[in-house]
Structure 1
């Protein structure tokens, strides 16, 4: 019986992981400056998750951030259009997956700056990542990811 229970539990965990993965859109557009290598690394990270990424590096990022509704002062080096949402900066996949699983009524989520240890940024996480949700240049807490 224990073996059967372990098999069922393992299957359920695998199904849950597949469901979470399936929640992500197949495509994304990443807007960035041409010289930013960490943005390219974030794009590769998304591609490893099964998302096809189109990189646009010949656009005024300020205009894209305004169109997305990113609050002033909470921007990062890149902005991503993914499904019906915007992703601002080096947001860890745990938060991106939660966004698409829960589908809250927001324009997107973001992580200000370029925190060490996030996808595309080298080094270990040394402090909590405060991911925010935003709509119309207004923000609210979305989730905190502890080190």
Structure 2
């Protein structure tokens, strides 16, 4: 090459790693057949980069308890993402935090159906605790949304 600066620039460009867009996490959301907010939460997750498959189940409570979630943390749906269970209307930011940290948890949960969380209408009534669920201890506050 006649221009050594151009040759060095080309070598530098070739040495850079190729970047690819982050692959969307697959999620399977189990819901009561009569609940509509679950569909809104699934759409919220899709808008935040998740690939969501929604499945209706006539016994959501059994599905949730079988996953290791305590009864006091039951919600209107449970979403399985990677190796974690996400109960209720947990924000995408907190789900991403969970996936990045790789903590030895069963998952996270917001019990019930509080207003103002993703997928639920109404004004948010203050901070909402997101609980960490583990096999060996009582749930603790994982994050606040």
1:71–1:80 Cα change, 3 Å: same
For residues 117 and 100 of structure 1, the distance between their equivalents in structure 2, rounded to whole angstroms, comes to: 23
On the 8 A contact 1:25/1:83 being kept in 2, the answer is no
| 2:138 aligned with 1:138 | yes
On the 8 A contact 2:33/2:58 being kept in 1, the answer is no
On the 8 A contact 1:115/1:121 being kept in 2, the answer is yes
Q: 46-55 or 32-41: which moved more?
A: 46-55
For normalisation by structure 1, the TM-score amounts to 0.77
**Partner-residue secondary structure (3-state), 2:71:** coil
Shift of 1:94: 2.1
On the 8 A contact 1:92/1:119 being kept in 2, the answer is yes
For residues 132 and 25 of structure 1, the distance between their equivalents in structure 2, rounded to whole angstroms, comes to: 24
**Partner-residue secondary structure (3-state), 2:112:** coil
Shift of 1:122: 1.1
For residues 117 and 80 of structure 2, the distance between their equivalents in structure 1, rounded to whole angstroms, comes to: 19
Alignment of 1:1-147 (within 5 A): 22=22, 25-136=24-135, 138-145=138-145
For residues 66 and 24 of structure 2, the distance between their equivalents in structure 1, rounded to whole angstroms, comes to: 20
Could you tell me which runs of 5 or more consecutive residues in structure 2 were left unpaired when the two chains were aligned: 1-20
The C-alpha deviation readout for 1:9-36, integer Å capped at 9, x for no partner, is: xxxxxxxxxxxx94x8521110011111
On the 8 A contact 1:31/1:59 being kept in 2, the answer is no
The C-alpha deviation readout for 1:25-65, integer Å capped at 9, x for no partner, is: 52111001111100000000111112111111134212211
1:81–1:59 Cα change, 3 Å: farther
Counterpart residue number, 1:11: none
Q: CA RMSD in A?
A: 1.8
For normalisation by structure 2, the TM-score amounts to 0.78
Moved over 2 A (4+): 135-138
| Paired positions, count | 124
Larger % of helix: which? 1
